[in-house]
Structure 1
Protein backbone atom coordinates (compact mmCIF):
# COMPACT_ATOMS: atom_id res chain seq x y z
CA UNK A 1 0.00 0.00 0.00
CA UNK A 2 1.38 3.40 -0.92
CA UNK A 3 1.78 5.77 2.00
CA UNK A 4 1.40 9.54 1.64
CA UNK A 5 4.67 11.44 1.46
CA UNK A 6 5.57 13.27 4.65
CA UNK A 7 8.49 15.48 5.62
CA UNK A 8 10.48 14.02 8.47
CA UNK A 9 13.53 15.20 10.32
CA UNK A 10 15.63 12.74 8.32
CA UNK A 11 14.23 14.20 5.09
CA UNK A 12 15.15 17.67 6.32
CA UNK A 13 18.71 17.30 7.60
CA UNK A 14 19.10 21.03 8.26
CA UNK A 15 15.75 21.57 9.95
CA UNK A 16 15.95 24.14 12.77
CA UNK A 17 19.40 25.26 11.61
CA UNK A 18 20.11 28.92 10.87
CA UNK A 19 22.37 29.60 7.88
CA UNK A 20 23.97 32.85 6.72
CA UNK A 21 25.06 32.82 3.06
CA UNK A 22 26.98 35.84 1.79
CA UNK A 23 26.74 36.90 -1.84
CA UNK A 24 23.60 34.83 -2.29
CA UNK A 25 21.28 36.91 -4.45
CA UNK A 26 22.58 35.24 -7.62
CA UNK A 27 24.93 32.60 -8.99
CA UNK A 28 26.72 30.12 -6.75
CA UNK A 29 25.56 31.78 -3.55
CA UNK A 30 21.92 31.58 -4.58
CA UNK A 31 22.37 27.94 -5.56
CA UNK A 32 23.72 27.24 -2.07
CA UNK A 33 20.93 29.21 -0.38
CA UNK A 34 18.33 27.22 -2.31
CA UNK A 35 20.00 23.93 -1.38
CA UNK A 36 20.12 24.82 2.31
CA UNK A 37 16.49 25.96 2.28
CA UNK A 38 15.51 22.72 0.54
CA UNK A 39 17.18 20.86 3.40
CA UNK A 40 15.06 22.77 5.91
CA UNK A 41 17.35 25.59 7.03
CA UNK A 42 16.40 29.14 7.90
CA UNK A 43 18.53 31.08 5.43
CA UNK A 44 19.73 34.66 5.64
CA UNK A 45 20.37 35.86 2.09
CA UNK A 46 22.89 38.64 1.54
CA UNK A 47 23.98 40.45 -1.58
CA UNK A 48 23.08 43.10 -4.12
CA UNK A 49 19.70 43.06 -5.85
CA UNK A 50 16.64 45.23 -6.25
CA UNK A 51 13.77 45.00 -3.79
CA UNK A 52 11.50 43.02 -6.10
CA UNK A 53 14.20 40.40 -6.75
CA UNK A 54 14.93 40.08 -3.03
CA UNK A 55 11.27 39.56 -2.23
CA UNK A 56 11.00 36.90 -4.94
CA UNK A 57 14.07 35.04 -3.70
CA UNK A 58 12.87 35.00 -0.12
CA UNK A 59 9.44 33.82 -1.24
CA UNK A 60 11.01 31.12 -3.40
CA UNK A 61 13.06 29.76 -0.52
CA UNK A 62 9.90 29.78 1.56
CA UNK A 63 8.21 27.50 -0.96
CA UNK A 64 11.03 24.98 -0.58
CA UNK A 65 11.32 23.49 2.89
CA UNK A 66 13.04 26.24 4.82
CA UNK A 67 12.54 29.99 5.02
CA UNK A 68 14.61 32.97 4.00
CA UNK A 69 15.13 36.57 4.99
CA UNK A 70 17.40 39.24 3.59
CA UNK A 71 20.23 41.28 5.08
CA UNK A 72 21.86 43.92 2.91
CA UNK A 73 25.14 44.23 4.83
CA UNK A 74 27.98 45.66 2.74
CA UNK A 75 30.80 43.19 3.35
CA UNK A 76 33.48 45.58 2.12
CA UNK A 77 32.97 47.17 5.55
CA UNK A 78 34.29 44.96 8.41
CA UNK A 79 31.75 46.41 10.84
CA UNK A 80 28.88 45.41 8.57
CA UNK A 81 30.28 41.90 8.13
CA UNK A 82 30.24 41.55 11.91
CA UNK A 83 26.74 43.04 12.13
CA UNK A 84 25.41 40.58 9.53
CA UNK A 85 26.22 37.64 11.79
CA UNK A 86 25.13 39.42 14.95
CA UNK A 87 21.73 40.32 13.47
CA UNK A 88 21.13 36.73 12.31
CA UNK A 89 22.05 35.39 15.75
CA UNK A 90 19.77 37.91 17.45
CA UNK A 91 16.85 37.00 15.19
CA UNK A 92 17.20 33.21 15.23
CA UNK A 93 19.00 32.69 18.51
CA UNK A 94 22.19 31.38 16.88
CA UNK A 95 24.07 30.93 13.61
CA UNK A 96 24.65 27.25 12.93
CA UNK A 97 25.90 27.52 9.36
CA UNK A 98 28.04 30.19 7.77
CA UNK A 99 28.77 30.18 4.05
CA UNK A 100 31.28 32.77 2.85
CA UNK A 101 30.65 33.16 -0.86
CA UNK A 102 30.75 36.90 -1.64
CA UNK A 103 33.49 37.91 -4.03
CA UNK A 104 34.63 40.16 -6.84
CA UNK A 105 37.21 39.84 -9.60
CA UNK A 106 39.58 42.13 -11.49
CA UNK A 107 41.96 41.08 -14.27
CA UNK A 108 45.16 43.01 -15.00
CA UNK A 109 48.91 42.47 -15.42
CA UNK A 110 50.52 42.75 -12.00
CA UNK A 111 52.58 45.83 -12.91
CA UNK A 112 49.37 47.60 -13.93
CA UNK A 113 47.20 46.22 -11.14
CA UNK A 114 45.59 49.18 -9.39
CA UNK A 115 46.24 49.11 -5.62
CA UNK A 116 42.63 50.10 -5.01
CA UNK A 117 41.47 47.00 -6.89
CA UNK A 118 43.85 44.85 -4.85
CA UNK A 119 42.46 46.28 -1.60
CA UNK A 120 38.88 45.85 -2.79
CA UNK A 121 39.32 42.18 -3.73
CA UNK A 122 41.20 41.26 -0.55
CA UNK A 123 38.57 43.06 1.55
CA UNK A 124 35.61 41.12 0.14
CA UNK A 125 37.11 37.80 -0.95
CA UNK A 126 39.27 37.21 2.13
CA UNK A 127 38.89 39.70 4.97
CA UNK A 128 35.08 39.56 5.02
CA UNK A 129 35.29 35.81 5.61
CA UNK A 130 37.63 36.37 8.54
CA UNK A 131 35.25 38.89 10.10
CA UNK A 132 32.15 36.69 9.75
CA UNK A 133 33.96 33.59 11.02
CA UNK A 134 35.46 35.47 13.95
CA UNK A 135 32.00 36.72 14.93
CA UNK A 136 30.23 33.35 14.64
CA UNK A 137 32.93 31.03 15.96
CA UNK A 138 32.67 31.40 19.74
CA UNK A 139 28.93 30.68 19.84
CA UNK A 140 29.37 27.69 17.53
CA UNK A 141 31.97 26.27 19.91
CA UNK A 142 29.69 26.85 22.89
CA UNK A 143 26.80 25.13 21.10
CA UNK A 144 29.00 22.19 20.11
CA UNK A 145 27.90 22.51 16.49
CA UNK A 146 28.94 24.69 13.60
CA UNK A 147 29.41 24.39 9.86
CA UNK A 148 31.54 26.90 8.01
CA UNK A 149 31.83 26.59 4.24
CA UNK A 150 34.09 28.96 2.35
CA UNK A 151 33.55 29.16 -1.39
CA UNK A 152 37.07 29.37 -2.72
CA UNK A 153 37.99 28.50 -6.31
CA UNK A 154 40.29 26.34 -8.36
CA UNK A 155 42.46 29.42 -7.91
CA UNK A 156 42.86 28.50 -4.25
CA UNK A 157 44.98 25.61 -5.54
CA UNK A 158 46.50 26.82 -8.82
CA UNK A 159 47.21 30.20 -10.36
CA UNK A 160 46.36 31.97 -13.58
CA UNK A 161 48.08 35.07 -14.97
CA UNK A 162 46.59 38.54 -14.51
CA UNK A 163 44.57 37.60 -11.40
CA UNK A 164 47.05 38.50 -8.66
CA UNK A 165 44.56 39.68 -6.03
CA UNK A 166 41.95 37.00 -6.70
CA UNK A 167 44.47 34.16 -6.59
CA UNK A 168 46.10 35.58 -3.47
CA UNK A 169 42.73 35.93 -1.74
CA UNK A 170 41.60 32.42 -2.64
CA UNK A 171 44.91 30.91 -1.49
CA UNK A 172 44.35 32.86 1.71
CA UNK A 173 40.86 31.38 2.06
CA UNK A 174 42.37 27.89 1.83
CA UNK A 175 44.77 28.69 4.65
CA UNK A 176 42.07 30.31 6.77
CA UNK A 177 39.88 27.25 6.26
CA UNK A 178 42.56 24.88 7.55
CA UNK A 179 43.35 27.03 10.57
CA UNK A 180 39.71 27.42 11.61
CA UNK A 181 39.15 23.68 11.10
CA UNK A 182 41.94 22.87 13.55
CA UNK A 183 40.59 25.31 16.12
CA UNK A 184 37.07 23.90 15.86
CA UNK A 185 37.97 20.21 15.61
CA UNK A 186 37.22 19.32 19.23
CA UNK A 187 34.13 21.50 19.47
CA UNK A 188 31.86 20.08 16.76
CA UNK A 189 32.71 22.92 14.37
CA UNK A 190 33.88 22.06 10.88
CA UNK A 191 35.33 24.37 8.25
CA UNK A 192 35.77 23.40 4.62
CA UNK A 193 36.42 25.16 1.32
CA UNK A 194 34.66 24.35 -1.93
CA UNK A 195 36.88 25.03 -4.94
CA UNK A 196 34.81 25.36 -8.13
CA UNK A 197 36.21 25.74 -11.59
CA UNK A 198 33.96 27.45 -14.10
CA UNK A 199 30.33 27.30 -13.00
CA UNK A 200 27.42 28.22 -15.24
CA UNK A 201 26.05 31.49 -13.84
CA UNK A 202 24.58 34.68 -15.34
CA UNK A 203 27.96 36.39 -14.88
CA UNK A 204 29.75 33.65 -16.83
CA UNK A 205 27.13 33.76 -19.56
CA UNK A 206 27.67 37.51 -19.91
CA UNK A 207 31.43 36.93 -19.96
CA UNK A 208 30.99 34.60 -22.93
CA UNK A 209 29.17 37.22 -24.96
CA UNK A 210 31.61 39.98 -24.01
CA UNK A 211 34.64 37.83 -24.84
CA UNK A 212 33.14 36.71 -28.14
CA UNK A 213 32.57 40.31 -29.17
CA UNK A 214 36.00 41.47 -28.02
CA UNK A 215 37.93 38.66 -29.70
CA UNK A 216 35.80 38.04 -32.76
CA UNK A 217 35.01 34.49 -31.70
CA UNK A 218 31.83 32.46 -31.63
CA UNK A 219 30.20 31.54 -28.34
CA UNK A 220 31.26 27.92 -28.81
CA UNK A 221 34.87 28.98 -29.42
CA UNK A 222 34.89 31.09 -26.27
CA UNK A 223 33.47 28.24 -24.21
CA UNK A 224 35.81 25.59 -25.64
CA UNK A 225 39.04 27.50 -26.20
CA UNK A 226 38.95 30.18 -23.53
CA UNK A 227 36.79 29.40 -20.51
CA UNK A 228 36.98 25.61 -20.50
CA UNK A 229 40.46 25.29 -21.93
CA UNK A 230 41.83 24.14 -18.55
CA UNK A 231 38.74 22.15 -17.51
CA UNK A 232 39.14 18.58 -18.85
CA UNK A 233 35.44 17.74 -18.56
CA UNK A 234 34.71 20.51 -21.08
CA UNK A 235 31.50 21.28 -19.24
CA UNK A 236 30.52 23.89 -16.70
CA UNK A 237 29.65 22.81 -13.19
CA UNK A 238 26.16 23.88 -12.16
CA UNK A 239 25.10 25.92 -9.17
CA UNK A 240 22.93 22.96 -8.16
CA UNK A 241 26.02 20.73 -7.95
CA UNK A 242 27.84 23.26 -5.78
CA UNK A 243 24.73 23.75 -3.64
CA UNK A 244 24.32 20.01 -3.08
CA UNK A 245 27.93 19.71 -1.95
CA UNK A 246 27.57 22.66 0.43
CA UNK A 247 24.36 21.24 1.90
CA UNK A 248 26.04 17.90 2.55
CA UNK A 249 29.00 19.58 4.25
CA UNK A 250 26.55 21.42 6.52
CA UNK A 251 24.82 18.27 7.73
CA UNK A 252 25.49 15.79 10.52
CA UNK A 253 26.90 13.19 8.13
CA UNK A 254 29.82 15.46 7.29
CA UNK A 255 30.98 15.75 10.91
CA UNK A 256 34.38 14.21 10.15
CA UNK A 257 35.04 16.29 7.04
CA UNK A 258 36.98 19.38 8.06
CA UNK A 259 39.96 21.37 6.89
CA UNK A 260 39.53 20.24 3.32
CA UNK A 261 39.60 22.00 -0.05
CA UNK A 262 37.12 20.11 -2.19
CA UNK A 263 37.47 20.61 -5.93
CA UNK A 264 34.44 20.71 -8.18
CA UNK A 265 36.28 21.70 -11.33
CA UNK A 266 35.90 18.97 -13.94
CA UNK A 267 39.48 17.82 -13.36
CA UNK A 268 41.15 21.22 -13.72
CA UNK A 269 43.42 20.87 -10.68
CA UNK A 270 44.15 17.18 -11.34
CA UNK A 271 46.50 18.20 -14.15
Structure 2
Protein backbone atom coordinates (compact mmCIF):
# COMPACT_ATOMS: atom_id res chain seq x y z
CA UNK A 1 0.00 0.00 0.00
CA UNK A 2 1.33 3.44 -0.96
CA UNK A 3 1.34 6.08 1.79
CA UNK A 4 1.36 9.76 0.91
CA UNK A 5 2.74 12.11 3.55
CA UNK A 6 3.53 15.80 3.69
CA UNK A 7 7.26 16.52 3.74
CA UNK A 8 8.04 19.45 6.02
CA UNK A 9 10.40 22.17 4.79
CA UNK A 10 13.30 23.29 6.96
CA UNK A 11 12.43 26.97 6.51
CA UNK A 12 8.74 26.63 7.40
CA UNK A 13 7.60 25.58 10.89
CA UNK A 14 3.94 25.06 9.94
CA UNK A 15 2.19 21.67 9.91
CA UNK A 16 -0.67 20.15 7.96
CA UNK A 17 -3.97 19.77 9.83
CA UNK A 18 -3.87 16.94 12.37
CA UNK A 19 -7.16 15.78 10.85
CA UNK A 20 -5.12 14.63 7.85
CA UNK A 21 -3.22 12.07 9.96
CA UNK A 22 -3.36 8.47 8.79
CA UNK A 23 -5.51 5.86 10.47
CA UNK A 24 -2.81 3.25 9.86
CA UNK A 25 -0.24 3.71 11.24
CA UNK A 26 -2.41 5.58 13.68
CA UNK A 27 -1.65 9.29 13.66
CA UNK A 28 1.24 9.50 11.22
CA UNK A 29 0.96 12.97 9.72
CA UNK A 30 4.21 14.18 8.15
CA UNK A 31 7.94 13.64 7.87
CA UNK A 32 11.06 15.73 7.55
CA UNK A 33 11.79 19.25 8.67
CA UNK A 34 14.07 19.44 11.67
CA UNK A 35 13.96 19.51 15.47
CA UNK A 36 14.21 23.26 15.87
CA UNK A 37 12.59 24.07 19.24
CA UNK A 38 10.12 26.46 17.59
CA UNK A 39 8.95 23.70 15.26
CA UNK A 40 8.53 21.23 18.12
CA UNK A 41 6.65 23.77 20.22
CA UNK A 42 4.38 24.66 17.30
CA UNK A 43 3.70 20.96 16.87
CA UNK A 44 2.60 20.48 20.48
CA UNK A 45 0.43 23.59 20.28
CA UNK A 46 -1.40 21.86 17.41
CA UNK A 47 -1.61 18.36 18.86
CA UNK A 48 1.43 17.04 16.97
CA UNK A 49 4.66 15.52 18.29
CA UNK A 50 7.86 13.97 16.87
CA UNK A 51 8.59 10.28 17.25
CA UNK A 52 10.89 8.14 15.14
CA UNK A 53 13.27 5.25 15.45
CA UNK A 54 16.86 4.58 14.41
CA UNK A 55 17.39 4.89 10.66
CA UNK A 56 14.05 6.66 10.09
CA UNK A 57 13.43 10.25 9.01
CA UNK A 58 11.86 12.60 11.55
CA UNK A 59 8.22 11.53 11.78
CA UNK A 60 5.38 13.68 13.15
CA UNK A 61 2.27 12.20 14.75
CA UNK A 62 -1.22 13.14 15.91
CA UNK A 63 -3.01 9.93 16.94
CA UNK A 64 -6.67 9.34 17.67
CA UNK A 65 -7.92 8.41 20.16
CA UNK A 66 -5.63 10.28 22.54
CA UNK A 67 -4.61 8.90 25.93
CA UNK A 68 -4.93 11.47 28.73
CA UNK A 69 -5.02 11.88 32.49
CA UNK A 70 -7.33 14.27 34.28
CA UNK A 71 -5.05 15.63 37.03
CA UNK A 72 -8.03 16.73 39.10
CA UNK A 73 -9.34 13.18 39.49
CA UNK A 74 -6.09 11.18 39.36
CA UNK A 75 -5.64 8.94 42.37
CA UNK A 76 -2.69 6.65 42.99
CA UNK A 77 -3.30 3.00 43.78
CA UNK A 78 -3.49 2.05 47.45
CA UNK A 79 -0.36 -0.07 47.03
CA UNK A 80 1.59 2.97 45.77
CA UNK A 81 0.39 5.11 48.68
CA UNK A 82 1.33 2.38 51.15
CA UNK A 83 4.75 2.03 49.52
CA UNK A 84 5.36 5.78 49.72
CA UNK A 85 4.40 5.94 53.39
CA UNK A 86 7.04 3.30 54.08
CA UNK A 87 9.85 4.53 51.82
CA UNK A 88 9.22 8.31 51.80
CA UNK A 89 10.70 9.18 48.43
CA UNK A 90 11.03 12.94 47.95
CA UNK A 91 9.77 14.65 44.80
CA UNK A 92 10.83 17.87 43.09
CA UNK A 93 10.03 19.89 39.98
CA UNK A 94 12.66 21.30 37.60
CA UNK A 95 15.67 20.49 39.75
CA UNK A 96 17.50 18.66 36.95
CA UNK A 97 15.55 18.45 33.70
CA UNK A 98 18.55 17.59 31.48
CA UNK A 99 19.33 14.58 33.68
CA UNK A 100 15.73 13.34 33.53
CA UNK A 101 15.73 13.60 29.73
CA UNK A 102 19.01 11.69 29.53
CA UNK A 103 17.83 9.00 31.95
CA UNK A 104 14.60 8.43 30.02
CA UNK A 105 16.85 7.45 27.12
CA UNK A 106 19.53 5.63 29.13
CA UNK A 107 17.19 3.07 30.71
CA UNK A 108 16.12 1.84 27.24
CA UNK A 109 18.09 0.06 24.54
CA UNK A 110 18.91 2.05 21.38
CA UNK A 111 16.26 0.01 19.55
CA UNK A 112 13.60 0.93 22.12
CA UNK A 113 14.13 4.66 22.44
CA UNK A 114 13.28 7.57 20.17
CA UNK A 115 15.37 9.87 22.39
CA UNK A 116 18.49 10.06 20.28
CA UNK A 117 21.07 12.77 20.87
CA UNK A 118 19.37 15.28 18.59
CA UNK A 119 16.01 14.79 20.30
CA UNK A 120 17.52 15.13 23.75
CA UNK A 121 19.30 18.37 22.82
CA UNK A 122 16.08 19.82 21.40
CA UNK A 123 14.11 19.13 24.59
CA UNK A 124 16.93 20.46 26.74
CA UNK A 125 16.82 23.69 24.74
CA UNK A 126 13.05 23.84 25.25
CA UNK A 127 13.73 23.44 28.98
CA UNK A 128 16.11 26.40 28.93
CA UNK A 129 13.38 28.41 27.19
CA UNK A 130 10.87 27.51 29.93
CA UNK A 131 8.65 25.14 27.92
CA UNK A 132 9.94 21.71 28.98
CA UNK A 133 9.65 20.65 32.63
CA UNK A 134 10.62 17.67 34.74
CA UNK A 135 9.61 15.88 37.91
CA UNK A 136 12.38 14.19 39.87
CA UNK A 137 11.98 11.43 42.46
CA UNK A 138 14.75 11.10 45.01
CA UNK A 139 15.94 8.51 47.55
CA UNK A 140 19.07 8.93 49.67
CA UNK A 141 19.86 12.14 47.75
CA UNK A 142 19.91 10.29 44.42
CA UNK A 143 17.44 10.65 41.54
CA UNK A 144 15.73 7.28 41.12
CA UNK A 145 12.94 8.18 38.71
CA UNK A 146 10.98 10.94 37.07
CA UNK A 147 9.18 12.27 34.04
CA UNK A 148 9.33 15.22 31.68
CA UNK A 149 7.08 16.96 29.16
CA UNK A 150 6.03 20.15 27.44
CA UNK A 151 3.67 22.75 28.90
CA UNK A 152 1.06 24.14 26.54
CA UNK A 153 -1.00 26.50 28.69
CA UNK A 154 -3.08 24.39 31.09
CA UNK A 155 -2.20 21.22 29.18
CA UNK A 156 0.93 19.22 30.01
CA UNK A 157 2.21 16.95 27.24
CA UNK A 158 3.95 14.07 28.98
CA UNK A 159 6.86 12.72 26.94
CA UNK A 160 8.60 10.00 28.91
CA UNK A 161 9.23 8.62 32.39
CA UNK A 162 11.60 6.17 34.03
CA UNK A 163 12.19 4.27 37.26
CA UNK A 164 15.38 2.94 38.78
CA UNK A 165 13.59 1.87 41.97
CA UNK A 166 10.11 0.38 42.50
CA UNK A 167 7.17 2.78 41.96
CA UNK A 168 9.36 5.83 41.32
CA UNK A 169 7.65 6.89 38.08
CA UNK A 170 4.21 6.19 39.53
CA UNK A 171 5.00 8.45 42.47
CA UNK A 172 6.28 11.12 40.08
CA UNK A 173 2.99 11.05 38.18
CA UNK A 174 0.89 11.01 41.37
CA UNK A 175 2.63 14.00 42.91
CA UNK A 176 2.68 15.91 39.64
CA UNK A 177 -1.03 15.39 38.93
CA UNK A 178 -1.99 16.83 42.30
CA UNK A 179 0.48 19.70 41.98
CA UNK A 180 -0.61 20.53 38.43
CA UNK A 181 -4.30 20.48 39.36
CA UNK A 182 -3.63 22.72 42.36
CA UNK A 183 -2.06 25.27 40.02
CA UNK A 184 -4.96 25.30 37.54
CA UNK A 185 -3.67 22.53 35.27
CA UNK A 186 -6.51 20.84 33.41
CA UNK A 187 -5.21 17.94 31.30
CA UNK A 188 -2.16 15.68 30.85
CA UNK A 189 -1.62 14.27 27.37
CA UNK A 190 0.14 10.90 27.26
CA UNK A 191 -0.32 10.38 23.53
CA UNK A 192 -1.16 6.71 22.84
CA UNK A 193 -2.81 4.30 25.27
CA UNK A 194 -0.89 1.25 26.40
CA UNK A 195 -1.52 -1.31 29.17
CA UNK A 196 0.71 0.53 31.65
CA UNK A 197 -1.05 3.88 31.16
CA UNK A 198 -4.44 2.19 31.35
CA UNK A 199 -3.46 0.52 34.63
CA UNK A 200 -2.65 3.98 36.01
CA UNK A 201 -6.09 5.32 35.08
CA UNK A 202 -5.55 6.99 31.70
CA UNK A 203 -8.63 7.58 29.55
CA UNK A 204 -9.05 8.03 25.80
CA UNK A 205 -10.41 11.08 23.98
CA UNK A 206 -11.43 11.33 20.35
CA UNK A 207 -9.42 13.66 18.15
CA UNK A 208 -12.33 16.13 18.05
CA UNK A 209 -12.58 16.25 21.84
CA UNK A 210 -8.84 16.46 22.37
CA UNK A 211 -8.40 19.23 19.81
CA UNK A 212 -11.30 21.22 21.28
CA UNK A 213 -9.68 21.04 24.71
CA UNK A 214 -6.24 21.88 23.32
CA UNK A 215 -7.60 24.94 21.50
CA UNK A 216 -9.08 26.22 24.77
CA UNK A 217 -6.34 25.22 27.23
CA UNK A 218 -3.38 26.51 25.24
CA UNK A 219 -4.80 30.04 25.54
CA UNK A 220 -4.89 29.83 29.35
CA UNK A 221 -2.10 29.58 31.86
CA UNK A 222 -1.33 27.84 35.10
CA UNK A 223 -0.49 29.83 38.21
CA UNK A 224 2.86 31.59 38.25
CA UNK A 225 4.63 29.28 40.71
CA UNK A 226 3.61 26.00 39.07
CA UNK A 227 6.93 25.28 37.36
CA UNK A 228 9.32 27.13 39.61
CA UNK A 229 11.95 24.73 41.01
CA UNK A 230 10.50 23.38 44.24
CA UNK A 231 9.94 20.34 46.42
CA UNK A 232 6.45 18.87 46.25
CA UNK A 233 4.46 18.03 49.37
CA UNK A 234 2.55 14.81 49.76
CA UNK A 235 -0.58 15.14 47.56
CA UNK A 236 -2.82 15.06 50.63
CA UNK A 237 -1.14 18.31 51.72
CA UNK A 238 -1.41 20.11 48.36
CA UNK A 239 -3.30 23.40 48.35
CA UNK A 240 -4.46 25.54 45.46
CA UNK A 241 -2.15 28.35 44.36
CA UNK A 242 -3.90 31.48 43.12
TM-score under structure 1 normalisation?
Answer: 0.28
Work out which of the two has the higher radius of gyration on C-alpha atoms and give 1 or 2: 1
- Higher fraction of strand: 2
More RCO (CA 8 Å, sep 6+): 2
Structure 1 or 2: more helix by fraction: 1
